[in-house]
Amino acid sequence: MENLLRPIYQEKASCPDTLAVMIIERRNQTSSATENFDAALLVIVSKAEEPVFVKHYEFNGQIASLHIITVEQLQGWILLGTNRRIIDWILNGKVLFDRNEYIAKLIEQLNTFPFPERKLKIGLEYGKLIRRYIEGKSFFEDDQFLDAYNSIAHALHHLARIEVIDKGFHPEVTVWNQVRHMEPQIYKLYKELIESNESLQKRLELLFLASDFLIHSKTEIGAAHLLGVMNEKRVWQFAELLQHPELKYFSTDLGVILEFLTEKNIVGVKAIETKGQKIFHRGYFVKKDVDS
């Protein structure tokens, strides 16, 4: 396959904006990593008109995809975890071209995983965890058990990703294989959810009890990034937090995590007068350290 794709990747490698070219080949009969194509060619460029460009090829009964992505898009995927297979591609793909050791340095960055980046990623995952947990509990109270099951399964997935990140690793597509070795307690909860012989309602009851404890136990690391920002000044209005550059990726989950921390008595609320009679803005402030 590599030989068949050689003319394509050599052409891309000759462009001055190309930083690296990698190939990811099909590993099994069913290969989600390559979308069931025989191979995927990844080209990382410093700049392009579009952040992501994809083209499909077919030859001699085989199919391949070409993915051209900018450095900015790649870093965004890595930071936000919105394209989980990209970590797998970078760590396990074959390097065909590497200008100034770009891929080698990127792999070193992934393996090092600086603490500030970890702190941000954990905060993002924690926001998603809280949202999914609250949604699941709401579904459960309405006797919508299948929807509750779906939500708690997603919540456990975010909990698992937090554990992997906290240990200094990037969560990959096979996150449960990672968690099985790092935090057996979370892995056991997931196994009980999907394999227990108990009724679905009983499984969910037990899972919500256990998850409530685990979510609370992760508050210190989960809220650290947000509380660090909030400690910059005494009182914040919600719009001010939304506009803070360090919180720009939290936009969809910022409200739910802030309310959760308020309920847990970690964040306090101050009433701020408005022009309307008896109507107040909510101001938020850090009430106490999560580990106190």
Which tens digits make up the pLDDT trace of 232-252? 999 999 999 999 999 988 888
- Is pLDDT of 288 > 50? yes
Which tens digits make up the pLDDT trace of 92-104? 899 999 999 999 9
- Is pLDDT of 292 > 50? no
Q: Where are the alpha helices (DSSP H) in 142-248?
A: 145-166, 175-182, 184-195, 200-217, 219-222, 224-230, 238-243
Domains and CATH numbers, the chain: 2-112 (3.30.460.10), 115-222 (1.20.120.330), 228-286 (1.10.10.10)
User: What's CA 89's distance to the chain center, in Å?
Assistant: 16
| pLDDT given for residue 5 in this prediction | 80
Angle of CA points 257, 225, 284, to nearest 5°: 50
- Is pLDDT of 30 > 70? no
Q: Does the global pTM surpass 0.85?
A: no
- Cβ pair 42, 23 in contact under 8 A: yes
Q: In the structure encoding, which two tokens stand for residue 25, read together?
A: 């080949």
| pLDDT given for residue 290 in this prediction | 54
Which tens digits make up the pLDDT trace of 138-187? 999 999 999 999 999 999 999 999 999 999 888 876 789 889 989 898 99
For every residue of 80-143, DSSP letters joined together read HTSSTHHHHHHHHSEEEEEGGGHHHHHHHHHHH--HHHHHHHHHHHHHHHHHHHHHHHHHHHTT
> Hey, is 28 helix, strand or coil?
coil
- Report the half-sphere exposure of 101 (CA within 13 A, side-chain side): 5
